Amino acid sequence: MEYKKELKNNRWVDVPMTGDVWHLLKEQRVADTYYRRGDGQATQDLDWVEALHRNWVHELIDLSDFEYCYATNGATEAINQWLLHEEREYQYFQGEYEYPSLIKPGTEVCTGYKEYTIDPNKVLYVSNPSAADGNFFNLDVDCPVILDCTYISSTNVQEFNKIHIPPNTEQIFFSFSKGFGLVGNRLGLVYTKKPHKTLHSCKEFENWNYGSVKTMDLIMANYDVDTMWKQHRAWQLNMCKEYSLIPSDCFFLATSGDPYYTKRRRMKYNPSARLCLTPLIEW
């Protein structure tokens, strides 16, 4: 009962941390990226990480239509940079990641259970896997799209088809915090079809966190995109069986229709609550 109470009272997603990642990070030195800006070393590192990442996620998502890639301080900065110059109104699904709404209010599109009305003239901010429940879903819309793929690296690649990218998708965000517990390291990549209004100039001047690029390289060189899911899936299934939960595609999340977890429901029209399993185990 104590664990159920902890699940009920945990409002946020706690990123999982593992001992092997902790030990791996010891291999990286701050001095490794003590570069002179403009000498090309940082650009060489980022070009390598971009190529590595495109291949790392290719079983889950095809980035071939997105020519440009930028390093950011996690998906948070990617959202900041998007909304900094976004003059159009944007819309989102109920239960979506809250951060964009803290910067600029958007419009919720849900009208009922699995029912929604998309405004073709507004930008749709959407996460896939979804921040609402940690699951993949298919979405086909014609409006402009900002696609947040933060939860990739905490899911499997074998049981799912590639993420469908709506045709008018403009930017795709990635982060390494969810799968590897690197929330404080601020590791993110942004892919765009056109040069980014602010990040492109920063890239030309080699103005980004060089250390974060090295850390992304370190992680991808030692782990596949689904390694953490494979390592912890059995634990997730055991926890879900013990507490009568439904496992999400993301290995540290689950859902439940039990009224006991009503306060964790993120969608007014959906009776399922999103639950974070991370507090149940010492990683």
> Which residues contact residue 260 at a Cβ distance below 8 angstroms, ignoring those fewer than 6 apart?
4, 8
Amino acid at 133: D
Instruction: Return the biggest CA–CA distance within the chain.
Output: 59
**pLDDT > 70 fraction of the chain, expressed in percent and rounded:** 96
> What is the predicted pLDDT for the residue at 200?
97
Torsion angle of alpha carbons 166, 167, 170, 174, nearest 10°? 40
Question: Rounded CA gap, 95 and 101, in Å?
Answer: 12
**pLDDT > 90 fraction of the chain, expressed in percent and rounded:** 83
Q: How confident is the model at residue 207 (pLDDT cuts 50, 70, 90)?
A: very high
> Where in the chain are the domains?
2-20+226-280, 32-222
Q: What is the pLDDT of residues 217-238, one digit of tens each?
A: 999 999 999 999 999 999 999 9
Among residues 156, 170, 152, 134, the alpha carbon closest in space to that of 227 is found at 156
CATH number given to 32-222: 3.40.640.10
Q: What is the pLDDT of residues 211-222, one digit of tens each?
A: 999 999 999 999
Backbone angles phi, psi at 48, to 5 degrees: -65, -45
* Helix extents (H) in the chain: 2-9, 19-25, 41-56, 74-84, 99-103, 177-180, 199-204, 210-222, 227-243
> What is the predicted pLDDT for the residue at 168?
97
